Amino acid sequence: MAKKTKAAYDSWVDSFINTNGVQGITGALMNTALIDLSDSIFFGERREGKGEVIAAVGTVIVFATPMTTDQYVVLVRPYDSLGDFIEWKVDPTLMTANGFTIVPAADGLLDYHAVSF
């Protein structure tokens, strides 16, 4: 199936499902709708990383492909070599379309997911 933007998905639903009973919804149409919704569940851009090396002095995480906006949330999991959680902070003023800066309490590794809104 296909990943759709929110506007494209809304348009598809309006065309094929919200027809006020003029067109009956078929199993095939419902299947397409659910698969496309699943593919498109995050309507924003996503970036992710796993096992990124981070340093206590602060590390700039650079996205392989920049976001088209600097408006995103980032979920982080910093951990040490044993897999134990490390305290951290992300300065929202240092979040750009190219990436973000994380300052952990100690050197370690980072898994992250960034999603635009």
Q: 53 and 98, same structural domain?
A: yes
Same-domain pairing of 52 and 35: no
The residues, any chain, with a CB within 8 Å of residue 105's CB and separated by 6 or more, are: 56, 86, 87, 88
* DSSP line for 35-89: HHHHHTS--S-EEEEEEEEE-TT-EEEE-SS--S-S-EEEEEEEE-TTS-B--EE
Q: What is the pLDDT of residue 25?
A: 63
Residue 55 CB partners (closer than 8 Å, separation 6+): 104, 107
In a domain, 1, yes or no: no
For residues 53 and 98, membership in a common domain is answered with: yes
Task: Tell me which residue range forms the domain holding 24.
Answer: 6-39
The pLDDT assigned to 11 comes to 76
Q: What is the pLDDT of residue 45?
A: 85
26 and 75 inside one domain: no
| One domain for residues 29 and 53 | no
Say if residue 76 is in the same domain as residue 52. yes
pLDDT digits (tens, 9 = 90+) for 26-83: 667 766 777 776 666 656 788 999 999 999 999 999 999 999 989 898 989 999 999 8
Do 25 and 52 belong together in one domain?
A: no
pLDDT tens-digit profile of 9-25? 777 777 766 655 555 66
Shared domain check, 32 and 63: no
pLDDT score of 62: 97
Q: What's the structural domain count of the chain?
A: 2
Per-residue pLDDT for 110 more than 80? yes
Residue 101's pLDDT band (cuts 50, 70, 90): very high
In a domain, 35, yes or no: yes
Please give the residue that has the higher pLDDT: either 104 or 36: 104
Q: How far apart are CA 54 and CA 103, in angstroms?
A: 8
**What pLDDT is attached to residue 86?**
93
